Structure 1
Amino acid sequence: MKYSTSPTPSTSSTYNFPRSTSPLPAPANYQPTTASAAVKRYKYLRRLFKFNQMDFEFAAWQMVYLFVSPQKVFRNFNYRKHTRSQFARDDPAFLVLLSVWLFLSSICFGLGMGLDWGQLVLFIIFVVFVDFIGAGLLVSTFFWYISNKYLRRDAAAPDVEWGYAFDVHINAFFPPLSLLHCLQIVLFNSLLSHDGILPCFVSNTFWLASIIYYLYITFLGYSNLPMLSNTRLFLLPLPALCIAYIASLLMGFNFSHMLKDFYLYRVL
């Protein structure tokens, strides 16, 4: 019997979610946190290999809605705080699905670059353990520290859970992964790896959309927390990002070439 930790996804509001499209939640009386971070981490890791207890259907629904309506994903985090006394996921199904998606997309990307089997294995190890896990831990810890140190409404407000910061990161990581490792690879050898204005424009637009997705979903994740203020801080890089995008087109700098050269440098 599947053990479901999340409500059945639906476009209708079964749990009295706020109707507003604003990412900020309505005031709510959340359940007080009763478990320590160590206990939460132990329970999460203990379930990591119990696939029969994971709700993969709901995790897949979240992946779809991270593209079309990410606000709905974070409304479910509010529901979890009401029922589970924590914002962070207690079901690792999303992480498992994302890891499988990253593994398969890395194989496709490596084959698209013409790597042999030994180089492909090394490439996958770098992508999964350095780019995803290692960088993810660092980015999550950085945002967790910034949020608790500078964005809490007052010193008496509850801390941001590190597990929630990690959830926000992997939520924001999924759309860029799909754009850069999946959709981009379809055009990589036929268009993006060539020189010229059109390959540069298409490639850099992929990158622009990916970074905007990451920043926007990160902003939604932290603005979802009632104990934080000034979360628009996460959107501050957008003007500089647009300027860098225009400058890269004027200079003919292709970010896909940069990514390919970086990957090849690590495995050759």
Structure 2
Amino acid sequence: MLPTSVSKGRSSSSASRTNPMFPQYLRRIIKWQQMDIEYTFWQMLHLCTSPKVVYQHTKYHKQTKNQWARDDPAFVVICSLLLSVATIAYCAAYDHSATHAIFVVISVLLFHFLITGAMLATFCWFLTNSYLREDSPNSHVVEQRVEWLYAFDVHCNSFFPMFVMLYVIHYFLSPLLMVHGFIPVLLSNLLFMAAASYYHYLNFLGYDGKLILLVCCFALLLNIGQKIFRVEVWQSILVPSLCLIDALFLKIFL
């Protein structure tokens, strides 16, 4: 399900049509009246229950508007608001001052969601356009090409269920997970494994089952996570191994 654009002669005209999409997308962020809030919550619900339905609707969006990426920033706005609320809840639970809470909210929004998402989207956009496209000798066949904004949409789609598991469910399980012992550590790692596996499964769906992209994105995330959170050695071995098994399972059975 890679975004398509006409090759060669028409590529420049296609690019000129897609360029105005970014200013329009940014302008609509501050216009709540133009956002489809109900459809956004519908997408969020189905991303957690039946994500294939969401990507089926993405195909319909391509057929009607001739672009894969969303032209409605409601998903990003609502996800940012929910992330802010969850971060404030953590700050309130762990007795942070108001100044520190504001700093934490801004840093989480920027680094956990937007900047990291933009980096991953750029990485996936470059990887798919450079190595995962199928070149056809027929000049009349439409060339497969990923839109950058669509790559960011795939990240946002994958991030929301991970947010539910690692920010919401983890918050309510914090009294149990903060207890010292093997069981809390095991549960914490299983929760992280489930969130990471589901994140990459949704990437798997977003890029139409490109397994190499799934594994490469996970390797990048793992490397970042090891440097930032300084996880123990056995954790850094257990989690990627289980996720790699999960990726192979997806490749074989889906």
Q: Normalising to structure 1: TM-score of the pair?
A: 0.72
2:7 corresponds to which residue?
none
Residue 42 of structure 1: how far off its partner (Å)? 1.6
RMSD: 2.9
Indicate whether 1:211 and 2:196 are aligned: yes
What are the superposed Cα offsets for residues 73-132 of structure 1, whole Å, 9 maximum, x if unpaired?
111111111010100001111111111111101111222333221211111111012221
2:159 corresponds to which residue?
173
Q: Percent identity?
A: 35
Indicate whether 1:115 and 2:96 are aligned: yes
1:200 corresponds to which residue?
185
Query: Structure 2 vs 1, CA of residues 159 and 126 (structure 1 numbering), >3 Å: closer, same or farther?
Result: same
Equivalent residue runs for 1:1-268 within 5 Å = 36-154=17-135, 157-188=143-174, 190-223=175-208, 231-236=210-215, 247-248=234-235
Amino acid at match of 2:195: S
The answer to whether the 8 A contact 2:124-2:217 is kept is: no
What are the superposed Cα offsets for residues 175-219 of structure 1, whole Å, 9 maximum, x if unpaired?
11111111101121x111221011111111110011001100011
Point out 4+ residue stretches in structure 1 off by more than 3 angstroms.
32-35, 234-241, 244-247
Matched length = 213
Q: Which runs of 5+ in 2 are unaligned?
A: 3-10, 137-141, 223-230, 239-254
Q: Which runs of 5+ in 1 are unaligned?
A: 1-23, 26-31, 224-229, 252-268
The answer to whether the 8 A contact 1:192-1:203 is kept is: yes
Amino acid at match of 2:177: L
Residue 245 of structure 1: how far off its partner (Å)? 11
1:7 corresponds to which residue?
none
The answer to whether the 8 A contact 2:68-2:147 is kept is: yes
Q: Secondary structure at the match of 1:149?
A: helix
Residue 135 of structure 1: how far off its partner (Å)? 0.9
Amino acid at match of 1:133: L
- Write 1 or 2 for the structure with the bigger share of helix: 2
The answer to whether the 8 A contact 1:107-1:120 is kept is: yes
